[in-house]
Amino acid sequence: MQQSKIRQNSFLLLLVVFGLFIASQLLGFLSGFLGALTLYFFLRKPQDFLEKRYRLSKVKSTLLLLLGSFLLIVVPAGLIIGEVTARLAEVVSHSQEVLQSINAFITQQEQRFGFEILTAENLKQASAYVTAAATSTVGVIANSFATVAVMYLVLYFMLINRRAMEAWFYAYLPLEDNHVALIGKELNALVVSNAAGIPATAFVQAILAVICYAILGVDDLLFWFCATAIAAIIPLVGASIAYMPLAVLQYTSGHTTQAWVILVFGLVVLGTVDNLVRLYIQNKWGDAHPLITIFGVIMGVNIFGFMGLIFGPILISLFILLVKIYMREFHVGGLAYPDDSEAKA
């Protein structure tokens, strides 16, 4: 018996080491896997509807959903990102001219207020930082093509084998079936709330911002719409990455009133929309506490990159859920938990 236990533990250790080695080699495709998982939660019910209502085969329903998601999600996102990428490339090629203009503005303000804001050394460091950041961003966007390819490849097999995959989790996860179903339900709600809440919030902010810009007579509205939409996705700083540079550009161009209006509108209106819309969607669909969202985003971005915006809060929420399930399954602390009927996906 003891010998059998040693052999079992040794084999388990071998499996863990082997699995960690494989995972480390596939780490570069993590965003693609997470993207596939996100779309899977959105598409599993539409696939079931197509198969039952229109009697489509698995292959036909899967291909139709993949094409639809590509046209409705990837293509618009690609156009928005492409517009901003083109400008970033322009910034890289003309970074010195841009920094000289900024330096002239800062020098003017130094003379006006009588103290030094930016030294020559700081300007040199800023130049290197802007060039490196813009180049890095362009490189990340270029890598996104590989991420999209991996995402749709994985998503295809997930949808084709949907029932078998979900049955596997019920069979092999070391939990009662109702707890596995509860995890699936909670995970679905969290993914939907984050994956829908973040783009929806960014889109609302971009629409409101471009209306303000149009009223003020700002040129190149398409670019500023795209820039605001992308910036609004970034946690903590959000749309300020777009409207603050625009306010500075308006100020340096002599449009002082427009600059202050943009700044106040961004801080008050866009900031309020960011908090209200994001928290409303996430509380309605995922019932996530604001602190879970904030700390989850900070942690997730460090681990997963862009996809961490979605999966950071999910990890924390899932951990809390697993703690509750553990306490109920093993009768720790007498913790009350939802009825089994609530766990049905």
Q: What is the pLDDT of residues 103-154, one digit of tens each?
A: 666 677 666 666 655 555 555 565 565 555 555 555 555 566 778 888 999 9
Range among 182-186, 226-230, 335-339 with highest mean pLDDT value = 226-230
Distance between CA atoms of 251 and 36, rounded to whole angstroms?
Answer: 44
**CA angle centred on 152, ends 196 and 293, rounded to 5°:** 30
pLDDT tens across 82-98, in order? 777 777 666 555 555 55
More confident residue, 40 or 30: 40
Assess contact for 80 and 203: CB atoms under 8 A.
Answer: no
Q: Tell me the CB-side half-sphere exposure of residue 119, using CA atoms within 13 A.
A: 3
3-class SS of residue 131 = helix
Does 7 score more than 80 pLDDT?
yes
Distance between CA atoms of 345 and 331, rounded to whole angstroms?
Answer: 24
Range among 31-35, 148-152, 183-187, 192-196 with highest mean pLDDT value = 148-152
Least Cα distance to 240 among 211, 199, 274 occurs for: 274
pLDDT score recorded for residue 127: 56
Sequence spans of domains, the chain: 26-172, 174-345
pLDDT score recorded for residue 115: 60
- The H or E element that residue 341 is part of is none
Q: What is this structure's pTM?
A: 0.75
pLDDT score recorded for residue 98: 54
